[in-house]
Amino acid sequence: MLDMAGYVVSAGTSLSRRLIVEPSCGDGAFLHEIITRLVADSRPETDDEWKRLSGAIRAYDIDAQATARCRDASIRILRSSGCPHDIALSLVDRWINDADFLLTRIPKADWVVGNPPYIRATDMDSATRNRYMAANDSMTAGTDIYVGFFDHGIDALKPGGKLCFICSDRWLQNQYGTRLREKVAIEANLDTLVRMHGVDAFAEEVDAYPAITLITKSTPAESLKYIDCTENFTDSDAQSILTWLSAPSDVSASRFSAAVARKPLYPSDMFPLGSPDDMRFVMQAQERLPKLESTGVNLGIGVATGCDAVFVTDNPDLVEKDRMLPLFYMRDHRRHIDKQRWLVNPWNPDGSLVDLDDYPIMEAYFNDNRARLANRHVAKRHTSAWYRTIDKLDPSLMHRDLLLMPDMAAAPDPILSRGKYPHHNCYWIASDVWDLPVLGGLLMSDQTKTFIDCLGVKMRGRTLRFQAQYLRLLHIPRYGDITRRTREALAQAFHSGDRELATISARQAYKEAMA
């Protein structure tokens, strides 16, 4: 990372006359290498030459125990390099600050380099989060803390300065990163992204997949240098990447692929990130084809009850017959469990709650479980409707064909269903335009997987999320732009569960639509 940012020992770098900032120094994993390079580049001999290094480094951390260890190790590095003890103490005292980077005024820097902490928004107390939001424009109530480090780090850079972090790249692909994407697009340039999902890059296991991000305080460019590493990426490959960065072109090596990739047209757009070929496919489809819902498709989520133990049952005679709604339960389907489940339905077709006086068996059943039902958040908000499910029902879904998608899976797996109401662990797709088996064939293809893989937040084990927010990112051909022969092939692939045929046919459908 220091090499990528240009913090190197070489003629003309003059590291002693420039400033590098480490925003979360901890025990000093970055700082100790920085000190070593600073000393090697400046080669101080006299006391005055050592003292002149005092303005070259600023490091921050809120963990006093970590900074104490960092100071001790830093002093040892300086002493082993010949620095007098009293000057080493003075330098380290100037360099290392017990302070919160996000709330501290930072001197203008030539480099900001480090590993920001990964703390989820939900794990920050509201008072601290509000202070961070007030100090850093890119942070919102739902923003994980590392976004603030990008924001404040960019503000600290001099013109031409460089920020290089290793941390999550989720800000490029989710809603809470919108402000930061816009800030970078206006005030700086996203120069390089080294995606290291699955790579063992840290001494300890981390909660989020890492990426190395290099941002320069310069005019934004239309493209970025992008490297996608495989899980078996090694130290030796790092040197290959540094060599590639000096003369970038499309490369596909055994443990990484690299390309100069175009950025999205609009700063607020999410970045498609994957292999260079996958990125090109997704961006071309984004530019030339409509989104899924613009092709005559409706999309929604199954019913959430807030208490499945009461509302969901496998006993069809639990309450009155017309209150028992057949349920599609995705987990049973995926586990090949042959069981029919039912929803105890408290809703009228017009969206109003039934009067329990009209259904004495259901009334008795709900009253037996009243404590559990009334304790739910939705019941506390609507005390007179304590027996409602969280979601209202859409009765029309019972009378039409639906494609159902599991919320999480390794690959897209649409299921055709009719006459059963979808449970909340799946998403439903309906259409008056598409023949659903044709759409099912398109959705089960590797092209759909590529979209979700490139645009969706990754989970461990390469599990993908097929939730509505990600399905809405799909850009697909219009039904009328696909030839009859290709439609028939897509439907055949869907009915036979042939993903390879679906992928071949989807490739042809995209080709026909973008011709």
Strands 109-114, 96-98: parallel, antiparallel or unpaired by DSSP? Answer: unpaired
CA dist 39 and 9 (Å) reads: 9
Give the start-end residues of each E strand in 196-255. Answer: 211-216, 223-229, 251-252
Query: Does the structure show a pLDDT above 70 at 459?
Result: no
pLDDT-based confidence at residue 208 (cuts at 50, 70, 90): low
The Cα–Cα gap between 85 and 91 comes to 10
Q: How much is the pLDDT for 13?
A: 77
Token reading at 469 = 């927010």
**Angle value at C-alpha 202, between 201 and 203, nearest 5 degrees:** 135
Encode pLDDT of 413-456 as tens digits.
Answer: 999 999 999 999 899 999 999 999 999 999 999 999 999 999 88
162, 277, 268, 190: which is closest to 228 by C-alpha? Answer: 277
Cα dihedral 18, 21, 26, 27, rounded to 10, equals: -10
pLDDT in tens, 104-141: 999 999 999 999 999 999 999 999 999 999 999 999 99
Cβ distance 271 to 173 under 8 Å? yes
Cβ contact 403:414 at 8 Å = yes
Give the mean pLDDT of 30-35. 97
Find the DSSP H helices in 209-339.
235-246, 276-288, 308-311, 330-334
User: Considering the chain, what percentage of its residues have pLDDT values greater than 90?
Assistant: 79
- How far from chain centre, in Å, is Cα 105? 29
365-415 residue pLDDT tens: 999 999 999 999 999 999 999 999 999 999 999 999 999 999 888 899 999
Residues in the chain: 515
What's the distance, CA 91 to chain centroid? 39
Cβ partners under 8 Å of residue 495, min gap 6: 437
pTM beyond 0.85, yes or no: no
Specify the DSSP element, H or E, that contains 41.
helix 31-42
Q: Confirm if 242 and 3 have CB atoms less than 8 A apart.
A: yes
Model confidence pLDDT, tens digit, residues 275-294: 888 988 999 999 999 999 99
The helix-helix angle for 499-513 and 436-443 (nearest 10°) equals 100
Beta bridge partners, 112, equal 21, 163
Per-domain boundaries in the chain: 298-513
Using the Cα atoms of residue 466, residue 471, residue 476 and residue 482 in order, give the sign of their dihedral.
positive
**In angstroms, what CA-CA distances link 93 with 5, 24, 82, 353, 428?**
25, 16, 18, 68, 60
